[in-house]
Amino acid sequence: MTHVLKVSGADLDDIAFSLRLAEVLVHEMRAGERPLLVHGGGKEITELLKVLNIPSQFIEGLRVTDAATRDVALMVLAGLANKRMVAHVLNAGGVAIGLSGVDGRLLQVRPIDAALGFVGKPCAVNTALLEGFLAQRIVPVINPMSIGEQAAGDGEIYNVNADHAAGAIAAALDAELLTFVTNVPGVLDAEKNLLPRLSAAETEALIASEVITAGMIPKVRTCLEALQAGVRRVRITNLEGLRAGGGTIFN
H, E, C per residue of the chain: CEEEEEECHHHHCCHHHHHHHHHHHHHHHHCCCEEEEEECCHHHHHHHHHHCCCCCCEECCEECECHHHHHHHHHHHHHHHHHHHHHHHHHCCCCEEEEEECHHHCEEEEECCHHHECEEEEEEECHHHHHHHHHCCCEEEEEEEEEECHHHCCCCEEEECHHHHHHHHHHHCCCCEEEEECCCCCCECCCCCECCEECHHHHHHHHHCCCCCCCHHHHHHHHHHHHHCCCCCEEEECHHHHHHCCCEEEC
Active-site residue among 40, 41, 148, 163?
A: 163
Q: Catalytic one among 9, 41, 148, 186?
A: 9
Is 94 an annotated catalytic residue? Answer: no
Among residues 40, 42, 98, 148, the one annotated as catalytic is 42
Can 120 be counted among the known catalytic residues? Answer: no
- The answer to whether residue 9 is catalytic is yes
Active site residues: 6, 9, 42, 163, 219
